[in-house]
Chains A and B, each alone.
Chain A
């Protein structure tokens, strides 16, 4: 029925999609048969409905034929539903009076018998005629938006995203669980392909973050939980006690001198030592010491209070407690980064067994001017300058049988960089690389790699390494060179493993807290691999950097800026519009059994204990229909997809 109580005049428009549909479906026959179907006032076919003239056909016919509803038989609604809704809107129809019959992905592309495919297409279009008879015009649900963003993780991606959002004039909470911002990038020595010193190019950004009036920096904080929905999130953030007053600390270092507890320095990946009270690195932001409570003798002044006693400005406070801070934000950008796959997983390469077998990140520290060896290449076991280093690529990457199926993308380039920097430090040293392919798909990457080979005389051997073991003070490497068809054995002073990148530890927990999804490898999933690369499937969440998959610095920065732009797009809207096709509760039928409350994946439904029925948060409801399927009394009916509509569609499909 239309708004005047008359029977709806329905128009059917069948698209050929060139030959995509027309080759397997007799589109003319579909249009003809549908023209004779009850309720259909007009039916036609056209080669490309989505083209400008195609849309004009819809617009013209709606007016000429006084149509009340339109069905377009074409590709998936994810592609052109909005196109046709807009065309119908121009002709004065509500977008809720437009339905898409998918006869491409669900018919022509998946069938091989033209006759059967045509019949199936007719049945699908028929079913939508039955549905659209009962479609009601709905008004979008409007919601306010909190123009304030949270960025989780303050590596290069998080820093870039925070700066870009802040520069658009919005307030940003930048949450980092470590004591300083900087992430993995600040640990790197020099960066490919231009060999800028990582600290030199990153610290200006770090300082900018700390000084930016729109950025609230929350280091040593962790996200506890998130509730709410796009534009209106409430986050609970745990502030971990640093036991040092950030503002009062002058970084004089007196506390560090007197601290009796020595532990491996995690910034240097255990290649050197630090005290229990420490500054992660000289340019740390915020510039304050942090007391690592897990290494400290304990917060009992009777046992040890050396640091407290030494601090002249009384910055050390043993009474600091964990706090939970609640904040409101409208958008959340997740930049939680990556971990390197553990060398333990590849026992045959001797990582974590032999001191002189190190992973890529450890070698970065060894090369770094601020690293454990003060910028000289020295091997961990005895501090000797290695005269021969073997680099092994694809350690765990591209090994679907035993490890990771994906390519970690950065290892080819950083191995070339390692070999080049090693030759800069030790010109008479021999660098040998075992590889299975060299992938240098970035701007000026291939040129960098070739420069490494030609100027550094680095020998690239094409083959995997089978085993690595120690003999005396040498490391023996067994590999192969498939280009000459030879098994190769060689002695080295040091071995560097280009370990695969993997999802950050604790990703599962974060996913649960954020209620967002990941792919099969644990990387946070983007909404569309090509067209929505920085948005999560869950609205209001954006992704940047390696949390979403392995990537190099240029890509991470670009993605962070893109995510920030998306946040800006969200904040630029006066009100957020929420799809009104939700599942309300029929108060007369609801018995308050709460079955729907338990099946709802969005926490949109709760029991109103006074009324004894379930109420729905219209903004949280995504209209998935889980409740409608579960409701035993029929009180939960999805708008424009009621039980009545579904049964009518089924009969139309099953009818001969």
Chain B
């Protein structure tokens, strides 16, 4: 894939906003990949957790919008418990999700719930999931 890095205002704003919301400095990441090697959901992800950080460093918001990986993250914190630079990666992922949700698609809605489970699942949890994974 070919990309143009422009570092225009909106790209810089995206990086700053991720840092602000997450309370982290994404530039601290030196791409060792420890988060990706430990992530329990990585087998289903289209891009690796370290690549999520990388794309933020590069200001590639549009690529993140299309990525499934962000919405597979369960915020289990395995990544950040292992990060040698002490980055709270789940916080970063949460911040990115928050920023791109309005622009993205629905990753999870009522139609995804199998009928036989619908009655048994706690409604409060489902609302929380809709809020996190739908625009």
Contact = CB atoms under 8 A, between A and B. Distances in A.
Interface of A: 388, 430, 432, 450, 453-454, 457-462, 481, 483-491
B25 interface: yes
24 contacts: A388-B7, A453-B28, A454-B28, A457-B15, A457-B27, A458-B27, A459-B27, A459-B58, A462-B31, A481-B54, A481-B58, A483-B31, A483-B50, A484-B54, A484-B55, A486-B2, A486-B3, A487-B3, A488-B2, A489-B3, A489-B4, A489-B5, A490-B6, A491-B6
B34 interface: no
B58 A484 contact: yes
A483 B51 contact: yes
Interface in B19-48: 25, 27-28, 30-31
B16 to A, nearest CB: 9
A453 B28 CA distance: 7
B88 interface: no
Contacts, number: 51
Interface in B66-120: none
Nearest to B59: A459
A450 B30 contact: yes
Given A459-B57, A484-B58, A432 B5 contact: yes
B125 interface: no
Contact of B4 (A458, A459, A460, A490): A490
Contacts of B7: 388, 430, 490
A432 B2 CA distance: 17
Nearest to A489: B4
B112 to A, nearest CB: 30
A430 B6 CA distance: 10
Contacts of B58: 459, 461, 481, 484
Contact of B27 (A430, A453, A483, A484): A453
A489 B7 CA distance: 12
Nearest to A476: B4
B31 A486 contact: no
Nearest to B5: A490
Contacts of A453: 27-28, 30
Given A453-B27, A454-B25, A457-B27, A487 B2 contact: yes
B121 interface: no
A453 B3 CA distance: 22
Given A450-B30, A454-B28, A458-B27, A488 B51 contact: no
B1 interface: yes
Contacts of B50: 483
A488 B5 contact: yes
Given A457-B27, A458-B27, 10 more contacts: A430-B7, A450-B28, A457-B15, A481-B54, A483-B54, A486-B2, A486-B3, A487-B3, A488-B2, A490-B7
A490 B30 CA distance: 21
B32 to A, nearest CB: 11
Contacts of A484: 51, 54-55, 58
A432 to B, nearest CB: 7
A488 B3 contact: yes
Interface residues of B, number: 19
B61 to A, nearest CB: 14
A38 B105 CA distance: 96
Contact of A454 (B2, B4, B6, B27): B27
Nearest to B26: A457
Contacts of A460: 30
Contacts of A490: 4-7
Nearest to A453: B27
Nearest to A479: B5
Contacts of B2: 486-489
Contacts of B31: 462, 483
Contacts of B3: 486-489
Contacts of B57: 459
A615 B114 CA distance: 105
B1 A485 contact: yes
Nearest to A438: B30
A461 B58 CA distance: 9
A454 B24 CA distance: 10
A431 to B, nearest CB: 10
A487 B5 CA distance: 10
A485 B55 CA distance: 11
Contacts of A485: 1
Contact of B1 (A461, A462, A486, A491): A486
Nearest to A388: B7
A72 to B, nearest CB: 51
Nearest to B60: A484
A459 B57 CA distance: 7
A631 B135 CA distance: 95
Q: Which has the most chain A C-beta neighbours within 10 Å: B5, B31, B55?
A: B5
A490 B54 CA distance: 17
A273 B5 CA distance: 36
B35 to A, nearest CB: 13
Nearest to B51: A484
A450 B3 CA distance: 26
B70 to A, nearest CB: 15
Contacts of A458: 27
A450 B57 CA distance: 15
A489 B6 CA distance: 9
Contacts of B15: 457
Q: Which has the most chain A C-beta neighbours within 10 Å: B4, B25, B27, B55?
A: B27
B48 to A, nearest CB: 9
A389 to B, nearest CB: 11
Nearest to B7: A430
B107 to A, nearest CB: 22
Contacts of B27: 453-454, 457-459
A486 B15 CA distance: 19
A460 B30 CA distance: 9
A460 B25 CA distance: 14
A439 B20 CA distance: 31
Nearest to B16: A457
Contacts of A483: 31, 50-51, 54
